[in-house]
Amino acid sequence: MAEKKKITLEDVYSEVETYINKPESLDLIHRAAEFAEKQHDGQLRRSGEPYVVHLYNVAYILATLHVGPETIAAGFLHDTIEDTAVSKEELGKLFTPEIAEIVESVTKIGALPYKGKDDPEYQAANHRKLFIAMAKDVRVILVKLADRLHNMRTLQYQSEASQKRIAAETMDVYAPIAHRLGISAIKNELEDLSFFYLDRESYYRIAKLVEMKKAERDESVQAMIKDISRLLTENHLEFRIFGRSKHLYSIYHKMEVKHKRFDEILDLLAIRIITKTKQNCYEVLGYIQSEYTPIPGRLKDYIAVPKTNMYQSLHTTIIGEDEKIFEIQIRTEEMDEIAERGVAAHWRYKEGSNYDTHARQKEIEEKLSWFRDFAQFTGENADDASELMTTLRHDVFEANVYVMTPKGRVIDLPSGSTPIDFAYRIHTDVGHTMVGAIVNNAMVPLNTELHTGDVVQIKTQKGTGPSEDWLKIVKSNQARNKIRAYLTRKENEKKSEHVEQGEKILADELRRRGFDPDEYMDKKKIENIVKEFGVFNYVDLMYGLVVKSISPVSLVEKLTNQRRSINEIELSKLNRKEPSRRHVQSKTGLIIPGIESMKMSLAQCCLPVYGDEVKGFITKGEGVKVHRCDCANVKGNNARLIDVQWDEEDRERLYDAGLVVLAHDRSFLFTDIVTVASQSKTPIVQITANTNRETLMASIKMKIQVHNLDQLQTLMANIKKVESVVSVERRTH
Ligand code: MN
C-alpha cells in the first residue's frame, strides 16, 4: 500500500481555489497554513518528512470534499493544541472562535482510547456514539476523517502493534461513521487500508483474484461501454459513462459474510452512467432495459427511495454479450457527488450573494434522511431541518451520556446519571461498596451529574453498603433496583435477628395466660395465621412483636382460639366470684337504657369505639348490632333503631377500629406507619397495603385496638403527619 502522490501547499491552494475565491476566505486559509507551519517547525513525522506534510494532506482531502474556509483552516491547525504550545483561546483570537472550537473537539475525540481488541465487552456502536456525541459538529468529524485517512495512508511507518490497533479502530469506528455520513470515497479507502493491515493474507488473495481476470474484464467492460454509448447517442441523451471497480474489502465482505464465490459477485463488471436530470436517468434505464435482458429482482430505484445516508441512484443488472453480467448505475452529477462525498456534499461551501439560504435549507431538509438514521438511536423523529443541529445534539448527543472507565471502556448511561449509576453499571458489588468517585481526576460528590466524555473511577471499601438516600440520586433503573434489593435483604437480616426476641415475647404471653408454650409455639401453625396480621411470613410476625406493631395479646388469642378479651381475664382474676348481671350486659361496653338484658354486639362494618355516637339496630335473631350513627348501613332504617349508651364504668376495654390510609407510595411508607402506631402503643390486629400501579397511590387498610375515640383521633392525626400520607379515614364498611 503505497502512499499516494505527494501533496504540496500549492496543490492544496489550487484545489481550494476551484471553489473558494473570496480574498478574505483565502487569507484565512493562508494565515492558518503559515501559522501551523511555524508552530510545527522542526517536528518530523515517523516517515522522516516534516510534520506539515501531514497538514497539507489533511487540508487537501478536506478541499476535495469542498468544505468551507473555516474547516480548511481547522484542517491546517488540527494538531496545534495537542502538539504545540498553542491554546484554544489563542486560536480563537488569531482566527475565529469556531475554528478554535473545531480544533479542540478534534483533539478531544482523538484522545479517546480504543480498547476494541482487548476488551471482550467492547461495543463498537457505543464507541461510535461517543465519538459523534463528542464531535458535536459534522465539521469536526470531517476533519477527523481526513486526519485518519492520511494517517492510514502512511501507516507503514508505524510499529506492527500500532498498525493493528489503528487499523482495527479505523474498521470499527471511522469507516462506519464515514459510511453513515455517506462519504463513500473515504469509507472505501479506509476499509481497504484497514483490511490490508488486519488480514494481509486475505487482502492479497482477493487482490490476486481481481487481478487475474482484469484484462478480460476490462475488455468486456470497454465493449459494453461502447455499445451503450452508441445506444444513448442515438437517442440524443447527454451522458458520461465509465467502468468502475469494486473495492477489495467489499468483495471480501460479500464472499465472507454473504458466503458467495468470487464469480458469483454480480457487480464485478460495473458501469456507471452520469446524466443530466432525474428524468434522463429513467430514460437511460428504459433504453438499457429494452436493449438488454435485465435480471429480475435486481432493479433498485434509490432515486425514488434514497438510502438513509442520502445515496441516490438507479441500479440494474443486465446480461450482455457472451452471457456476461453487468451492474449498471445511473445517476445525475449531483447524485454522484452525494454518493462520493455524502453529508459533506450538503455542507459543501458555496460562494456568492445570490445564494438562497431558504432554498438551501429546504434542500437539506428534503435530502437529509441520514439524519433519521441517527435519530433512530433515540426513536425520535425530527423533520425540521432548520433546527437540524440543535435537534441532533438534543436527541442523539444528549439523550444519553457516554462516559469512560479509566481503561477506556465506554459506558452508556441515561442523561443525568451520577457516579452511583456508573458504579452499578460496572458491577453490582462495585455499586454496593462504593464510597467515593473520581471524575476527570478530581474527587466529586456522589450526586454529581456525569457528562459525555467524563472519565470515571469508583472508590470502593469492603463492608460498606448503599444508603436509602441513593435512591433519590440515581437515574438508571438498574441502579435503583440493585439498591432496593440490597436494602430489603439487609432489613430481612435485621428481622431474623429479632426472631428469637419475638419468640420470647410470645412464649411469655402464652405462659401469662396459662397456656403451655411448647404446645402452641408450632411454627407451621403460626405460619398459617400470619396473613391475618397483615404480614407475609413468620419472621415478619416475630419482628412485629418486637417493634410492637403486632400485639402479643391478639396473637395468643388467634393461636389458642380464645376470644376472651384481656379485660375479662383481668376481671376474672380480680374477682373469682360469679360476674354480675351488669358485667354480662356490658360485654360490648354498652348499655340500653331501661333494658336489663339483651344480646348486643358491635357492628363489624363501622367498628364503633368508646366515644363514638352510636345507634342500636335490632336484627332478626342476632340481637342488637351497635353501629356508628354515620354508618351507611343504619341510615334509613329508623323503625328498627334504638338508643344505646356507652357504659361509663367500663373504660379499660379495647375496641377494634378500622382505618384507611391513602398515601403516595414510597419506600418504607408501610414501616413508618407501623412505627407511628407502635409508638403510641396501639396494637395492630391487621394491616394490608395495595398500590395502584398507575396512580402510584398506596391504600393501607389497618385494624387496630384502642380504648376510646380520643386515642383513635390522636393516632389518626399522627399518621396524617407521616411523609406522603394524603388522608386517614375511619373504615366505613
Ligand atoms: Mn493529525
489 and 587, same domain (yes or no): no
408 and 313, same domain (yes or no): no
How many Å lie between the centroid of ligand 1 and the Cα of residue 147?
A: 5
What angle in degrees, to the nearest 10, is found between the helix axes of 138-153 and 52-64? 120
CATH code at 31? 1.10.3210.10
Residue type, 371: F
How many Å lie between the centroid of ligand 1 and the Cα of residue 51?
A: 9
How many Å lie between the centroid of ligand 1 and the Cα of residue 144?
A: 8
pLDDT at 579 over 50: no
Overall domain count for the chain: 5
177 and 118, same domain (yes or no): yes
Residue 59: other Cβ atoms inside 10 A? 33
How many Å lie between the centroid of ligand 1 and the Cα of residue 58?
A: 8
Q: What is the pLDDT of residue 121?
A: 67
20 and 163, same domain (yes or no): yes
Lowest mean pLDDT among 79-88, 195-204, 287-296: 287-296
Active-site residue flag, 612: no
Q: Which of 341, 360, 391 is the last residue of a domain?
A: 341
Could you tell me if residue 423 is inside a domain? yes
- Name all contacts of 492-496 with Cβ < 8 Å and 24+ positions apart: 492/539, 495/539, 495/540, 495/542, 495/543, 496/539
In terms of Cβ atoms closer than 10 Å to its own Cβ (0-12, 13-18, 19+), residue 706 is: buried
CATH code at 261? 3.30.460.10
Could you tell me if residue 375 is inside a domain? yes
pLDDT at 710 over 50: yes
How many Å lie between the centroid of ligand 1 and the Cα of residue 646?
A: 94
Could you tell me if residue 346 is inside a domain? no
pLDDT band per the 50, 70, 90 thresholds, residue 54? very high
Lowest mean pLDDT among 4-18, 171-185, 561-575, 677-691: 561-575
How many Å lie between the centroid of ligand 1 and the Cα of residue 421?
A: 35
How many Å lie between the centroid of ligand 1 and the Cα of residue 168?
A: 18
C-alpha cell at 366: 428534503
- Identify whether the C-beta of residue 132 lies closer than 8 Å to the C-beta of residue 425: no
pLDDT at 27 over 90: yes
Could you tell me if residue 541 is inside a domain? no
Could you tell me if residue 58 is inside a domain? yes
Q: What is the pLDDT of residue 369?
A: 36
Q: What is the pLDDT of residue 583?
A: 37
Q: What is the pLDDT of residue 564?
A: 45
283 and 372, same domain (yes or no): no
647 and 674, same domain (yes or no): no
How many Å lie between the centroid of ligand 1 and the Cα of residue 151?
A: 7
Could you tell me if residue 600 is inside a domain? yes
Could you tell me if residue 451 is inside a domain? yes
143 and 49, same domain (yes or no): yes
Q: What is the pLDDT of residue 566?
A: 40
Could you tell me if residue 542 is inside a domain? no
- Identify whether the C-beta of residue 73 lies closer than 8 Å to the C-beta of residue 27: no
As a residue count, the chain comes to 733
| DSSP bridge partners of 659 | 702, 730
Q: What DSSP character marks residue 298?
A: -
- CB-based contacts of 352, cutoff 8 Å, min separation 6: none
pTM of the predicted model over 0.75: no
CATH code at 686? 3.30.70.260
- CB-based contacts of 496, cutoff 8 Å, min separation 6: 539
Q: What DSSP character marks residue 695?
A: T
C-alpha cell at 581: 348481671
Q: What is the residue-averaged pLDDT of the chain?
A: 81
Tell me the backbone φ, ψ of residue 415, rounded to 5 degrees.
-55, 140
20 and 161, same domain (yes or no): yes
170 and 32, same domain (yes or no): yes
Q: Among the options 17, 27, 34, 83, which is catalytic?
A: 83
CATH code at 447? 3.10.20.30
How many Å lie between the centroid of ligand 1 and the Cα of residue 440?
A: 24
How many Å lie between the centroid of ligand 1 and the Cα of residue 150?
A: 8
C-alpha cell at 34: 503559515
pLDDT band per the 50, 70, 90 thresholds, residue 371? very low
Quick one: what percent of the chain has pLDDT higher than 90? 30
Range of the domain at 99: 9-183
How many Å lie between the centroid of ligand 1 and the Cα of residue 547?
A: 69
Lowest mean pLDDT among 540-554, 671-685, 704-718: 671-685
How many Å lie between the centroid of ligand 1 and the Cα of residue 309?
A: 26
Give the CA distances from residue 235 to residues 238, 239, 278, 319, in Å, rounded to whole numbers and listed in that order.
9, 11, 16, 21
Most confident of 91-95, 255-259, 495-499: 91-95
How many Å lie between the centroid of ligand 1 and the Cα of residue 457?
A: 29
Q: What is the pLDDT of residue 374?
A: 42
282 and 229, same domain (yes or no): yes
Q: What is the pLDDT of residue 475?
A: 85
Q: What is the pLDDT of residue 80?
A: 94
Q: Which of 448, 471, 493 is the last residue of a domain?
A: 493
Which of the two residues, 532 and 17, has the higher pLDDT score?
17
Distance between CA atoms of residues 584 and 607, nearest Å: 20
Lowest mean pLDDT among 18-32, 282-296, 690-704: 690-704
| CA dihedral of residues 319, 322, 327, 331 (deg, nearest 10) | -80
80 and 136, same domain (yes or no): yes
Q: What is the pLDDT of residue 574?
A: 40
pLDDT band per the 50, 70, 90 thresholds, residue 284? very high
669 and 644, same domain (yes or no): no
pLDDT at 362 over 50: no
Q: Among the options 3, 11, 37, 82, which is catalytic?
A: 82
How many Å lie between the centroid of ligand 1 and the Cα of residue 77?
A: 9
Closest to 133 (Cα-Cα) out of 164, 91, 98, 177: 177
Angle at 350 between CA 347 and CA 352, to 5 degrees: 150
pLDDT at 322 over 50: yes
Provide the 3-class DSSP secondary structure of residue 286: helix
Task: Find where cell 488486519 sits.
Answer: 198
Q: Which of 651, 671, 687 is the last residue of a domain?
A: 651
Active-site residue flag, 83: yes
How many Å lie between the centroid of ligand 1 and the Cα of residue 79?
A: 6
How many Å lie between the centroid of ligand 1 and the Cα of residue 181?
A: 20
Provide the 3-class DSSP secondary structure of residue 51: coil
Distance between CA atoms of residues 51 and 48, nearest Å: 9
How many Å lie between the centroid of ligand 1 and the Cα of residue 47?
A: 14
In terms of Cβ atoms closer than 10 Å to its own Cβ (0-12, 13-18, 19+), residue 596 is: exposed
